[in-house]
Every structure is written in C-alpha cells, then in structure tokens.
Structure 1
Amino acid sequence: MTISIAAEPIPLTINTDGVVLVAGTRVTLDTVVYVFQQGATAEEICLAYPSLNLADVYAVIVYYLRHQEEVEKYLQERQKIAQEVR
C-alpha cells in the first residue's frame, strides 16, 4: 500500500473588504481564533457555527498556531478598524 502525502490548501479566503473568512462560509478568521483562544475545541466550534466542517476548523487552527505573529497582527489591525468605525 502506498500513501500519497500532498499539501492541502488552507481553507481561508479574503473578501473584497479584506476580511479573512473560512472558505465557503461567512465565518471570519477572527471568530475561529477568538473562540479557540477562549478554550473551545474544534468540535465545539463546529457545533457553534454549523456552516463550518471539522477538517477546515482544524486546518484554520493549525494555520493560526503556525502563523501566530502574522495572525495576531491581522487581528489587531481588524480591531483598530472596528474601533475607528464606532
């Protein structure tokens, strides 16, 4: 038996407003990271956001863990923009 190991694309897209979304959904990267930081498991995140699938949530969490500095900068910028709008 042979197993093929191929890189999977990260299930994230950027909309026209520059917001990062989980591909195929309206759930933002901000949302997934926030609930993960609050202690939610991937399974709990899927239950809270039914448009997500488990494999994508795990992939987004892995992306966050491997690119924390970059993601944190993005989240800070999003928070700054949200405060300016208010």
Structure 2
Amino acid sequence: MALSILAESAPLTTNPHGVVCVGGTRVTLDTVVAVFKQGSTAEEIVYRYPSLRLGDVYASIAFYLNHQEDVEEYLQQRQQQAQEIRQINEARFDPQGLRDRLLARRIERQAWSSC
C-alpha cells in the first residue's frame, strides 16, 4: 500500500471584515502568530484556545513560516487599523471624561448612602 500525499490548503478563512481566522473558529491568525512568537508551542496554543484543533494550529504556524513576509505585512496593516479605530473611539468617547463622570457618580452615591 502506497501512501497518498495530498496538498492541503491552510485552515485559514477571511471573515467579512477582512480578518483572517484559524480553523473555522473566531480565533484570529494574529492571535496564533503572536502567541507563537512569544514562544508557545502548538499544544500550548490549543490549550489556551480550546476551540482550535492541533492540526490547524500546526498548519497555521507552517503557513506563517512559509509566508512570513506576507503575514507580517498583513499583521502590520491590522495593527495600523486597530490604532486608527482606537483614535476614532477615543476622540468620540473621551476616556478621561468618562472616568471623571464615573468617579463623580460614585461620590454622589456615597453621599446619598451616608444619609
């Protein structure tokens, strides 16, 4: 009996927002690559993200290693998009103003509860 070797595509899909996910889950390629670059093994990644399958993680890591330049460019674009969204949200919803309002409410509630 001869072993039949078939090429399989990487278990990566792009969602409607342009985010690449692994193995039909909502775990992003960004996440898997980041944890891998921090030194985690495929087994540790599956342990941290149980919705992933071990073979899909290995295949995703292999894809990253074989297409490192393209994946790094994609990751850079994702970081830039995240920074732009963060700036838009901070401009719309000033985090310092929100903190001040929440602290004022807390002080007001404490004043009412001490009566």
Shorter-chain TM range is over 0.9
* RMSD (Å) for aligned C-alpha atoms: 0.5
- Quote the residue 1:57 is aligned against: 57
Q: Which one has a larger percent helix, Structure 1 or Structure 2?
A: 2
Structure 2-normalised TM-score? 0.74
The structural deviation recorded for 1:11 is: 0.1
Q: Distance in 2 between matches of 1:68 and 1:83?
A: 22
- The TM-score normalised by the length of structure 1 is 0.98
- Identity fraction in percent: 67
What letter is aligned with 1:6? L
Matched to 1:52, the amino acid is L
Q: Which runs of 5+ in 2 are unaligned?
A: 87-115
Structure 1: how far apart are the matches of 2:83 and 2:16? 20
- Residue identity opposite 1:37 in structure 2: K
| Aligned residues between the structures | 86
Quote the Cα distance in structure 2 between the aligned partners of 1:79 and 1:58.
24
Larger Rg: 2
Q: Gaps (5+ residues) in structure 1? A: none
Q: Report the 3-state secondary structure (helix = DSSP H, G, I; strand = E; otherwise coil) of the residue aligned with 2:3.
A: coil
Amino acid at match of 1:49: Y
